[in-house]
Chains A and B, each alone.
Chain A
Amino acid sequence: MRDDERSSEFVAFTRAHRTDLMRTAALLCAGDEAFAEDVVQTTLTRLYLAWGRVRRADSALAYARRSLTHVFIDEARRAHRRRESVVADPALALASEPATATADLATRELVRAALASLGPRQRAVVVLRHWHDLDVAETARILGCSTGTVKSQNARALAHLREHLGTLDRLTLEVS
Chain B
Amino acid sequence: MTSDDLKHALESVAATERPATDPAADLARARSAARRRTRRRFRAGLVGVASVAVLAVGVSVVVDDDGPGAPTVIASSGVELVAKTFEATPYTFDLTPRGWSVQAQQPTAVTIVPDDGSTSSDPDVFVGKLVILFDANPPDGRVVDRDGRRFWVSGDSGYTTLATRTTPGEPSGVVRIQYPKGAGWDEASMVDFLASVHVGPGARHGLG
Say how far B195's CB is from chain A's closest CB, in angstroms: 26
Instruction: Knowing A15-B23, A41-B26, A130-B3, say if A70 contacts B13 (CB, 8 Å).
Output: no
Q: Are A45 and B29 in contact (CB under 8 A)?
A: yes
Instruction: Knowing A73-B122, A144-B125, say if A127 contacts B10 (CB, 8 Å).
Output: yes
Contact pick for B14, options A15, A27, A145, CB 8 Å: A27
Q: Are A130 and B120 in contact (CB under 8 A)?
A: no
B150 within 8 A of partner (CB): no
Instruction: Knowing A53-B118, A66-B127, say if A104 contacts B183 (CB, 8 Å).
Output: no
A74 within 8 A of partner (CB): yes
Binary contact track B97-141/A, C-beta < 8 Å → 1, others 0:
000000000000000001011111110111100000000000000
A46–B159 Cα gap in the complex (Å)?
22
Q: Are B9 and A73 in contact (CB under 8 A)?
A: no
Within A140-173, which residues are at the interface with B (CB < 8 Å)? 141-145, 158, 161-162, 165-166, 168
Interface centre among A77, A137, A144 (most CB of B within 10 A): A144
A11–B28 Cα gap in the complex (Å)?
10
Q: Are A27 and B1 in contact (CB under 8 A)?
A: no
Within B167-199, which residues are at the interface with A (CB < 8 Å)? 182-184
A115 within 8 A of partner (CB): yes
Closest to B15 in A: A23
Q: Are A108 and B13 in contact (CB under 8 A)?
A: yes
How many B residues are at the interface, by size bracket? 35 or more
A31–B15 Cα gap in the complex (Å)?
10
Contact pick for B27, options A14, A58, A127, CB 8 Å: A14
Binary contact track A43-63/B, C-beta < 8 Å → 1, others 0:
011111110010011100000
Instruction: Knowing A26-B16, A144-B120, say if A53 contacts B127 (CB, 8 Å).
Output: no
Instruction: Knowing A45-B30, A49-B34, A53-B183, say if A165 contacts B10 (CB, 8 Å).
Output: no
- A-B contact number at CB 8 A: 135
A70–B118 Cα gap in the complex (Å)?
9
Q: Are A112 and B116 in contact (CB under 8 A)?
A: no
List of B residues within 8 angstroms of A143 by Cβ:
125, 127
Say how far B160's CB is from chain A's closest CB, in angstroms: 13
B206 within 8 A of partner (CB): no
A22–B114 Cα gap in the complex (Å)?
26
Binary contact track B19-46/A, C-beta < 8 Å → 1, others 0:
0010110110111011001000000000
Binary contact track A99-138/B, C-beta < 8 Å → 1, others 0:
0000010011001100100000000001100110000010
Instruction: Knowing A49-B33, A53-B182, say if A112 contacts B13 (CB, 8 Å).
Output: yes
Say how far B204's CB is from chain A's closest CB, in angstroms: 21
Q: Are A11 and B24 in contact (CB under 8 A)?
A: yes
Say how far A154's CB is from chain B's closest CB, in angstroms: 11
Leading 7 A-B pairs by shortest Cβ distance:
A48-B30, A144-B125, A23-B14, A14-B23, A50-B116, A50-B118, A108-B12
Other than A48-B33, A67-B118, A143-B127, give 18 A-B pairs with Cβ distance below 8 A: A11-B27, A18-B26, A23-B14, A41-B29, A44-B26, A49-B117, A53-B116, A56-B184, A107-B12, A111-B9, A111-B10, A115-B13, A130-B3, A130-B7, A131-B14, A141-B158, A141-B159, A144-B124
Q: Could you jot down 24 A-B contacts, CB within 8 Å?
A: A10-B26, A11-B23, A23-B15, A27-B13, A41-B26, A44-B29, A45-B26, A45-B29, A45-B33, A48-B33, A49-B30, A53-B118, A53-B183, A107-B9, A107-B12, A108-B13, A108-B16, A111-B9, A115-B13, A130-B3, A130-B7, A131-B10, A141-B159, A143-B125
